[in-house]
Structure 1
Amino acid sequence: MPRDSDGDGVVDTVDDCPTVKGPADSQGCPPKEFPALGDSCPSGDGAPPYRAGSNTRGDVCHRSSQTASG
């Protein structure tokens, strides 16, 4: 029986991460984590000028055209 060192169901000969569990669709490696960028409050903080209405007392989620989500 082929060896599966980490017990993830992906045999070591095709497992790119044979000592760490991960799904077969990522060659036996765990999913990569990355920071998600999107329409969140900090997406425009520190990048003025802010879009109209996004820098008011009622809406403090600063949105800016100077950011990727702008």
Structure 2
Amino acid sequence: MQFQDILYEKADGVATITLNRPERMNAFTPKMLDEWLAALQDAHLDAETRVIILTAEGRGFCTGMDVQAQA
């Protein structure tokens, strides 16, 4: 799956999911939430993955839901 609002990589048993909307303080949109859940599911189903790291680009991890995206 191609992701637009998150970065996802796996290496040496570690899956890293990075929220990648720093211009909006990584506020979730419905599409971003779908991408995040797909990455978590992929990491969960991968027998090689032992650790999942959740991180974010920019100065804030996440401000919650993007209310402008909901309108």
Q: TM-score range by the shorter chain?
A: under 0.3
Q: Rg bigger for which structure?
A: 1
Higher relative contact order (CA 8 A, sep 6+): 2
TM-score, normalization by structure 2: 0.17
Greater percentage in strand: 2
Greater percentage in helix: 2
TM-score, normalization by structure 1: 0.17
